[in-house]
């Protein structure tokens, strides 16, 4: 009899395992896959599998791309530039499915939240993620997710307490943007030639700040965002796409080189000691390495800054000395600072800083030359604010709500 192999784990491996969760499931592609979210190359390959001759593929990809991402069609029959035969063959082998919507909620401030059902490895156990549209006077932002659950375990984040189920596919990432256009009737606005329609499309910005750590799903995020930024399709400029990371240092230069979108870094603490507790990934990639990676992020300038996010936790990281240390720490990095009021969730051991403290903290940042917008927790009535995805919370008092609105600035 062969003895079972013992699983030997070094101390280092055990420590890493405590910081980074492994996915519980893998993605199982449906028998009839959706074409939404495929890269041009993958789309050409898909056409190859149904017998489209190689010499035609480039043109067909171009045509289908237009139908998918400029016209937003949901039915192969509407692709009238393709032969009837090809449309039939496409319909036989593929779909144009978007993520399934389980619930759609609209907040009093116009924030719209979609609860999406994504297939699980086991057919009877689907999963859910959220996608949120946040309207503002001069822009509309779509907040999208990158994982079901999260690889990491930040102590103030509700998602961090959940298991990592799996990474989203490029199709599921792109699908969130496509779905917004469907639901908010944004295709026509987006397709109108400049000047022809005074009403622009509702979503001008995309932020990857929903569920999950995007830099632990690097390839899918890279490939999905490339489709979102494609100028012949969904056409969101890379300058209007922001990827938020908790500091996966080795993937920051890669993100600069291969994705090229704006970067937001969840800093939350000015010392390693505290950051080790709030963002345990800091034990693996400490502040010095993180800030070096930020300093070297390609293309930084005053017009192209890194956003540093700082969640305001009462009595934990909100002293004025910490505000001053924050300013010193970021010296020399073209930066914006976003102070985020902590959103409590059931069982969380933190409280949001008092409003007066947030104001004082923000004043120090402001006096150091940073516009320091406090991120308004929009859509609280439908629980769509940052870090609150999938969780319940107390409502803000009317006074706090007003104060937050007044402080919210756009850059
Ligand atoms: N995983 C990525 C992106 C998703 S989280 C990241 O951590 O950057 C988006 C932002 O919400 C991050 O800055 C995160 O630190 C913050 N956040 C998480 N939980 C929060 C909470 N309960 N209250 C306020 N902000 C929170
Ligand atoms: Fe994951 Fe971001 Fe939450 Fe940390 S803050 S657990 S990285 S989603």
Using the atom order of ligand 1, give the atom closest to the CA of residue 244: 8
Among the bound ligands, name the one nearest to the CA of residue 244: 1
pLDDT in tens, 235-248: 999 999 999 999 99
Please report the pLDDT score of residue 142 as a whole number.
95
Exposure b/e, 371-402, CB count within 10 A at least 16 = b: ebbbbbbbbbbbbbbbbbbebebeebeeebbe
Quote the tokens at residue 107: 């907040």
Q: Which residues line ligand 2 (CB under 6 A)?
A: 150, 152-154, 157, 159-160, 212-213, 246, 266
Measured in Å, how far apart are the chain's first and last C-alpha atoms? 68
Instruction: Name the β-bridge partners of 304.
Output: 301
Task: Compute how many other C-beta atoms are within 10 angstroms of the C-beta atom of residue 292.
Answer: 12
Question: Mutation test of ligand 1: which of 309, 348, 374, 396 has the most ligand atoms closer than 8 Å to its C-beta?
Answer: 309
Set 130, 180, 213, 322: catalytic member: 130
For residue 262, give both structure tokens. Answer: 């704006």
Q: What atom in ligand 1 is closest to the CA of residue 157?
A: 19
Contact 386 CB / ligand 1 (< 6 Å): yes
Across the chain, which has 411 residues, the per-10-residue mean pLDDT values are 57 77 92 96 97 96 97 96 97 97 91 93 88 89 96 95 95 97 86 57 92 98 98 94 98 97 98 98 98 96 94 97 98 94 91 92 92 62 49 38 38 33
386: CA distance to ligand 1 center in Å?
6
Cα(118)–Cα(74) distance, rounded to whole angstroms? 18
CA dihedral 323, 327, 330, 335 (to 10 degrees): 100
Residue 101 CA to ligand 1 centre (angstroms)? 23
What is the reported pLDDT for 139?
A: 87
Find all residues with CB under 8 Å of 70, minimum gap 6, and list them.
187, 190, 191, 232, 233
- Give the pLDDT score at 199: 53
CA 216 – CA 229 distance, rounded (Å): 20
Judged by its nearest atom, the ligand closest to the C-alpha of residue 209 is 1
Question: Exposed, middle or buried: residue 129 (CB in 10 Å: 0-12, 13-18, 19+)?
Answer: buried
Scanning 67-110, the segments in alpha helix (DSSP H) are 84-93
Q: What is the pLDDT of residues 231-279, one digit of tens each?
A: 999 999 999 999 999 999 999 999 999 999 999 999 999 999 999 999 9
Task: Compute the distance from residue 196 Cα to the ligand 2 centre, in Å.
Answer: 42
pTM score, two decimals?
A: 0.89
Ligand 1 atom index nearest CA of 345: 22
How many angstroms does the Cα of residue 297 sit away from the middle of ligand 2?
21
What is residue 194's predicted lDDT score, i.e. its pLDDT?
Answer: 55
Classify each residue of 171-181 as buried b or exposed e, where b means 16 or more C-beta atoms within 10 Å of its C-beta: bbbbbbbbbbb
Q: Which residue, 26, 105, 163, is CA-closest to 116?
A: 105
* Rg, the chain, Cα only: 22
CA–CA distance, 344 with 387 (Å, rounded to integer): 9
Q: How far is the CA of 283 from the centre of ligand 2 (A)?
A: 15
Distance 281 CA to ligand 2 centre (A): 10
In the sheet that 140-143 helps form, which strands lie side by side, from edge to edge?
100-106, 112-118, 127-135, 140-143, 205-208, 241-245, 262-266, 306-312, 335-341
Give me the pLDDT at residue 138, please: 83
Task: Tell me what pLDDT residue 200 has.
Answer: 76
Contact 313, 320 (CB under 8 A): no
Number of H helices, E strands in the chain: 13, 11
Residue 242 Cβ inside 6 Å of ligand 1? The answer reads: no
Tell me which of 386, 389, 390, 404 to substitute to probe ligand 1's pocket, judged by most ligand atoms within 8 Å of the beta carbon.
Answer: 386
**Cβ distance 255 to 263 under 8 Å?**
yes
CB of 342 sitting under 6 A from ligand 1: yes
Cβ within 8 Å of residue 278, ≥6 positions away: 154, 155, 156, 268, 269, 311, 313, 316, 317
276 SS3 class: helix
104 is annotated as an active-site residue: no
CB 276 within 8 Å of CB 265: no
Nearest CA to ligand 1 atom 24: 342
Query: CB-side exposure of 299: number of CA atoms within 13 Å?
Result: 16
* Cα 111 from Cα 124, distance rounded (Å): 31
**25 is a catalytic site residue:** no
Q: What is the pLDDT of residue 405?
A: 38
Ligand nearest to the CA of 375: 1
Cβ atoms of residues 333 and 300 within 8 Å: yes
């Amino acid at each position: 009899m062969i003895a079972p192999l013992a699983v030997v784990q070094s101390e280092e491996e055990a420590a890493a395992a405590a910081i980074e969760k492994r996915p519980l499931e893998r993605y199982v592609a449906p028998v009839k896959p959706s074409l939404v979210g495929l890269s041009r190359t993958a789309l050409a390959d898909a056409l190859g599998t149904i017998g489209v001759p190689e010499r035609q593929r480039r043109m067909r990809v171009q045509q289908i791309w237009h139908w998918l991402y400029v016209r937003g069609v949901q039915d192969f029959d509407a692709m009238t530039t393709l032969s009837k035969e090809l449309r039939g063959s496409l319909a036989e082998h593929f779909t144009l499915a978007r993520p399934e919507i389980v619930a759609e909620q609209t907040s009093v401030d116009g924030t719209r939240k979609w609860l999406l059902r994504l297939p699980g490895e086991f057919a009877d156990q689907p999963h859910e993620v959220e996608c949120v549209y946040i309207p503002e006077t001069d822009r509309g932002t779509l907040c999208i997710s990158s994982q079901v659950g999260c690889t990491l375990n930040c102590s103030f984040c509700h998602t961090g307490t959940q298991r990592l189920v799996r990474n989203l596919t490029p199709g599921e990432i792109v699908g969130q943007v496509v779905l917004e256009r469907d639901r908010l009737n944004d295709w026509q606005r987006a397709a109108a030639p400049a000047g022809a329609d005074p009403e622009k499309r509702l979503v001008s910005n995309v932020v990857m700040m929903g569920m999950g750590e995007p830099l632990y799903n690097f390839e899918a995020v890279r490939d999905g965002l490339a489709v979102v930024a494609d100028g012949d399709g969904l056409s969101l400029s890379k300058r209007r796409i922001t990827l938020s990371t908790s500091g996966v240092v080795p993937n920051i230069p890669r993100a600069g080189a291969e994705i090229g979108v704006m970067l937001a870094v969840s800093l939350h603490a000015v010392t390693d000691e505290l950051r080790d507790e709030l963002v345990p990934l800091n034990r693996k990639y400490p502040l010095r390495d993180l800030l070096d990676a930020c300093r070297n992020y390609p293309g930084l300038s005053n017009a192209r800054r890194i956003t540093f996010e700082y969640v305001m936790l009462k009595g934990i990281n909100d002293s004025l000395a910490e505000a001053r240390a924050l300013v010193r720490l970021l010296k020399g990095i073209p930066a914006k600072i976003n102070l985020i009021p902590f959103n409590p969730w059931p069982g969380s051991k933190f409280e949001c800083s008092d409003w007066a403290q947030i104001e004082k903290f923000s004043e120090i940042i402001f006096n150091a030359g940073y516009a320091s917008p406090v991120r308004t927790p929009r859509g609280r009535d439908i629980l769509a604010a940052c870090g609150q995805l999938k969780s319940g919370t107390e409502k803000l008092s009317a006074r706090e709500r007003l104060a937050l609105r007044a402080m919210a600035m756009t850059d």
